[in-house]
Chains A and B, each alone.
Chain A
Amino acid sequence: MKEKIAFPHLVGLVAEKASTTERMSELFLQELFAVVTQELAEGKSVTIKGLGTFKTVKDDSIKDVVFSPDKELSEAVNAPFSQFEAVELCDEVTDEMLNEVDASMESAPKEQEPQETPAQNDNAEQIEEEQAQDVVTEDAPIAVQEENAQKEDTPQALSIPVQEEDTQETKPESYRKWLIAAAVAFALIAAWYFYTHRSKDHSDKATETTQVAKNDTTTNAEATKPQPVVTDTIGNGNVLFTMAKKHYGDQAFWVYIARENQAQYPDYRKIKSGAILVIPPAEKYGINSDSKQSLKQANAEAMKLYKEVKAADVNNVSTNEESKDEEKAKPQTTKSVKKPVKKHSSKYTHYKKRQKRRYHR
């Protein structure tokens, strides 16, 4: 982050990317930048595909170079914010309210730092618990919380003081309650799913009813065994970034959550609030917030995903246009055969006309 890359480092990076020797890369970069400076010194502009355009500008008899980045470059760099759009603020939102939000945002990291560690530990514990498939420990926090709500006299050993601290703050408590509720609901759904599948195999209805009773009493122990899946819901300020930070310790890993849920939500930019996303286990994608390489991989993956989504967008637009053309062509053939079918869309012809005009100028 905010690293200064000197020329020798750049040579190494380019050589690695292009899988050539460093000598070749050095010669190439020296020649390239020599050509660029020469052209700029002569007052000309230089365009490099995928990078941008360097132009010389004269301002009050002082010449300077202006760089305008390529659209591809600026889009790739802004890929993490591509899901946000400019929003018009309504009249009810006052400057004071915005300042309050800013203040809370500024103070939030300070408060969160001590909070985050227990919260993360809790999350980690929960995941571990789920992975260990221990139902008794999963149910224990509920029981303890209920006891805390009713009486604080119960002498529980070590876990109580930590949870009492949590209950004093409203946000973590409500969040945790929701998490536990979600886990329980999921376990119930899983139990129902297994029950229905088993019921197909067994012909006797009587045995099925006993199984239901058993499943209910054993509190979903068997259901949680096969797939310990962690889920999270989009909305209320909970976005892919925050989810990644919460579950993996760094927001750069949001891309893996998007990848995991790509089947259900092909475009991560269009996931609406209320959508429940599956959080993949960290081992699945080799997620490690401490390792720089893992972060790099995540960024590369994000770029890849962004390009895929962008390509899918372009494909959709082109197929829509084609289908529109076909629809237009069909009635023409039925009504009058003489009329020729349009070869290009109106956009394309308009673009061509503009190009011609530019050329003549």
Chain B
Amino acid sequence: MLHKELVDKLSKSLGRNKSDINKLLEALGNVVVERCSELDSITVPRLGTIEAVKHNETVEKNEETGKRMLLPPQVEILFTTSNVLKKRLNQS
């Protein structure tokens, strides 16, 4: 499902304008960005947890060329599926 289709579906089910739905989705995106940059985790019931994990800088070796690269620190965004959704997926 693409973003447009999602907005259409939500606007129909909630009886709101598409612009309102877009505004709320944007707000959600902003909240996720803000919270993830503070390395917080967001738990959504029945869906899962969105979590930001910071990896420190590392040295990686390319086995083929033998060159070593110093990689900068990085924040990765991880998603853990909730048990409810996992069960639902595997039942069907």
Please give the residue numbers on chain A whose beta carbons come within 8 Å of chain B beta carbons, in ascending order: 1-7, 10, 13-14, 17-18, 20, 24-25, 27-29, 31-33, 35-37, 39-52, 54, 56, 62-67, 69-70, 72-74, 76-81, 84-89, 93, 98, 296, 299-300, 303
Contacts and interface: CB of A to CB of B under 8 A. Distances in A.
20 contacts: A4-B40, A5-B43, A33-B45, A35-B10, A37-B46, A43-B92, A48-B25, A50-B25, A51-B25, A66-B79, A73-B29, A73-B77, A74-B77, A76-B33, A77-B37, A79-B37, A80-B37, A85-B72, A93-B68, A299-B37
Given A7-B45, A45-B1, A88 B10 contact: no
**Which 7 residue pairs across A and B have the least CB separation, nearest first?**
A50-B29, A67-B79, A84-B72, A17-B27, A18-B27, A63-B89, A89-B68
Contacts of A17: 27-28, 30-31
A54 B79 contact: yes
A29 B75 contact: no
Contacts of A39: 1
Contacts of B24: 14, 18, 20, 24-25, 28
A67 B50 contact: yes
A262 B31 CA distance: 27
B26 to A, nearest CB: 6
Nearest to A4: B41
B88 A37 contact: yes
Nearest to B30: A17
Nearest to B73: A81
A47 B2 contact: yes
Contacts of A84: 57, 72-73
A49 B3 CA distance: 6
Interface string B42-67: 11111110101000010100000001
A18 B21 CA distance: 10
A49 B25 contact: yes
B37 A10 contact: no
A303 B92 CA distance: 42
A176 to B, nearest CB: 29
